[in-house]
Amino acid sequence: MSNRQRTDGQKRQRNKNIFSIKMQKKLVVLFVLVLLAFAGLSTRLVYLIRENGTQYQKQVLAQQRYDSTTIPYRRGDIVDSQGTRLATSQKVYNLVIDAKVMLADENYLEPTLRALGANFDLNMTQIREYVNTHPTSSWYVPLRQLTYEEISGFQAARKENSNIRGVWFEEEYKRLYPYGSLAADVIGFTSTDNQGSYGLEEYYNDILNGINGREYGYLNDDQSLERTVKAAVDGNSIHTTIDVNVQMIVEKYLQKFMDEYKDGYHEGNGADNVSCIIMWVDTGEILAMASAPGYDLNDVRNTERLIGSKMVEQITNANGYFEIRNTDTIINREVLDAMDQDQIYLNLNNLWKNYCITGTYEPGSTTKPFTVATALELGLISPNDSFVCDGYLEVGGHRIHCHNRYDGVLTLEQAVAKSCNVSMMRIAQKIGVENFTEFQQLFNFGLRTNVDLAGEARTAGLIYTADKMGPTDLATNSFGQNFNVTMIEMITGFCSLINGGNYYEPHMVDRITNSSGATVKNIEPRVLKKTVSDSTSELIRRFCDAVVAYGTGTTARPPGYRIGGKTGTAETIDPVTHQRSEADHVLSFIGYAPADDPQIAIYVVVDRPNVEKQGDAKYATRIVRSILMEVLPYLNIFMTEEVTPTEQAELDALKLENTYYYNRPQEDEGQENNDPEENGAGEGGAAPNAPWRDFPIDPATGCYRDPDTGTLYDPQTGLSTDGAESVVNTDVPVNPNIQ
């Protein structure tokens, strides 16, 4: 290689090294500059977000109207069995002011403000001030949830004057309840974001809700605005088994009771609670369900509805869990004004609950048919058995009383009709603990019924298990004390007793349809189990018929109908001391109509009526009678008995369109005679040994009065008129789980 070639190569290598170093320096400088610029932009962005984030957010939201707009879905309706809407959704409009557009031309502002002032109830001084002080704002909402009628005047003015600009209406849906407070416990309500709370609204929330749509906007190659719409999917509607007319009748008489006894013995409502369920016996479909006091579904936070109720408070129990308990404080105007927001919300939540599925209580004597049915199924007793009642029974070292002191010898039918505690305790001793608790579970006591309503209480911890039930517990359980139930548990189990033993799952909805009206799903009645045999069911109906014919439930019979059923009274338990209150009672009647062919069952519970002496089931039976007087003719259930002139006058006063078809069954020759008098029961079904007939008659009541105790006895039946059916001594142990 020549010297020249070597020299040239060295130069090229040296130049290459020099170029590489220069480029590296330039790249480093460029990288630093880019990094500094990025840091500066980031700092500026953070500053803008912190200082003007709200303003830019509103501008972005305003532009969504042009670029991407949400199309709201319509929540499905809730209708009754006849298609009457109980809950529906109405399209409403939010008034949106776009100040930026309104100020884009000097000819827009005044015509637009004049049109707003002429058609809406707005403070126009405030609106003008906002527009002038926020010239870049595109999102200001002074009015919400306007109806189409309320915005139609402005829309017409805008069509006539093209200079009315900068106002538009955002669409959404508002939940409406056409009947206000009707069936409030059953329906429930929704929040502003279409989430159901309580009742059907919560249980069927996912079915009632739909899917929002979207309208997309974009600029095409010609800079023209193009739109793509993805339609909203509306929610499905649910068709309930509720009959609006039956529901109205029920609620009318519940409220009548509350009004009649309001401020009676003490300040406050006519009762802590009064509730009713009516159910089809052979399907489990619920015709009506209601409790009082109630609330308005269109104004659920109205605190006026709390006045007259007992105040509830939240405490921490012995297990460290929060617990809601009633106090003795009656909410009046003064108490309400002193309550803070947490207390108000707690008491509103208590008001919104459905007592028929959440309230737990001792059922009392309404469980006696279950006790008798258990023994009959096991073959431990027969329909012809008799029982001796001396007014009390010694069990487990305790003297447990019957509310009747002079029953004497009773047939099985009379034991049920007269609600004899001693007879039930003797029957329970034959059944035994294992069988008794097994049949309690068979009748679904302690278990949820799975009714399709949100919030059903579970009572598993409120009944005895076989390993924890002693002889005293067995005795008191036999007549409905020392364990708790819910109303829905009781009526569902009772229907199985009288319909041949078929336990149907109770339900409120029988059909689901889409927004076009097409049926999406049919919900058929479901028989879950067999509780008793047909023969046992027939006997239970016979015994319950006697309850109304000559026993404790005579005041439940409506004119023109023979019905069956069972009364119940139970003393309440103080949640703090766990002692029984001899003054406070839960009264009830569970029954069916008509007696010879049960079609509907009815259950009414009166929780602590506002009277001096609460232990009288007539407070419940009279409600039942009033309801059935109107419901049975409405349902086209024919009368089974002739109507007396007095009853006819009562029906005429109500102006009812009755079904005067008498379907009176003829007694077959050789048919067993169940007449109480001819069976040795004495007058009105009383037992032959009736020493109360020798007592002096009380002139004020016409009843026989025991000169030693002052107890009053009905002159026809000999039943005590001022004592609870389920009576135990205060020293009898109380189930510690019952609150």
In which residue are the tokens 């109207």 written? 65
**Own/partner long-range contacts of 56-65 (Cβ < 8 Å, ≥24 apart):** 58/137, 58/138, 58/139, 59/136, 59/137, 59/138, 59/139, 61/139, 62/98, 62/100, 62/137, 62/138, 62/139, 63/138, 65/168
Span 441-467, pLDDT tens digits? 999 999 999 999 999 999 999 999 999
Span 399-446, pLDDT tens digits? 998 887 766 899 999 999 999 999 999 999 999 999 999 999 999 999
CB 141 within 8 A of CB 95: yes
Nearest-angstrom CA–CA distance, 137 and 120? 21
Pick the closest to residue 681 from 718, 720, 724 (CA basis).
718
Q: What is the pLDDT of residue 687?
A: 42
Q: What is the pLDDT of residue 124?
A: 93
Expressed in percent and rounded to 5, the helix, strand and coil fractions of the chain are 40, 25, 40
Report which DSSP code applies to 318. Answer: T
How remote is the C-alpha of 37 from its chain's centroid?
64
Is the pLDDT assigned to residue 288 strictly greater than 60? yes
**Token couple for 196:** 């159901």
Nearest-angstrom CA–CA distance, 690 and 718? 8
Q: What is the pLDDT of residue 134?
A: 92
Span 644-688, pLDDT tens digits? 888 888 888 887 655 555 444 433 433 344 343 333 333 334 444
Mean pLDDT of the region 71-75: 93
Q: pLDDT grade, residue 586 (50/70/90)?
A: very high
Span 467-489, pLDDT tens digits? 999 999 999 999 999 999 999 99
Q: Which helix (H) or strand (E) holds 67?
A: helix 3-67
Span 34-56, pLDDT tens digits? 788 878 787 777 776 766 655 65
Q: pLDDT grade, residue 515 (50/70/90)?
A: very high
On average, the pLDDT of the chain sits at 86
Q: pLDDT grade, residue 5 (50/70/90)?
A: low
Is the pLDDT assigned to residue 561 strictly greater than 50? yes
In a 3-state reduction of DSSP, which class is residue 734? coil
Mean pLDDT of the region 92-114: 91
CA distances, 244 to each of 249, 258, 323, 634 (Å): 9, 21, 35, 12
Report which listed range, 120-134, 324-338, 361-375, is most confident.
361-375
How remote is the C-alpha of 468 from its chain's centroid?
32
In a 3-state reduction of DSSP, which class is residue 646? helix
CA distances, 192 to each of 214, 345, 463, 496, 687 (Å): 20, 17, 40, 41, 63
Nearest-angstrom CA–CA distance, 573 and 364? 13
Q: What is the pLDDT of residue 677?
A: 36
Higher-pLDDT residue of 412, 27:
412
Q: What is the pLDDT of residue 671?
A: 39
Peptide bond into 594 cis (omega under 30): yes
Is the pLDDT assigned to residue 342 strictly greater than 70? yes
Instruction: Mark 310-328 as b/e (b = at least 16 C-beta within 10 Å).
Output: bbbeeeeeeeeeeeeeeee
DSSP 1-35: --HHHHHHHHHHHHHHHHHHHHHHHHHHHHHHHHH
Nearest-Å Rg of the Cα atoms of the chain is 37
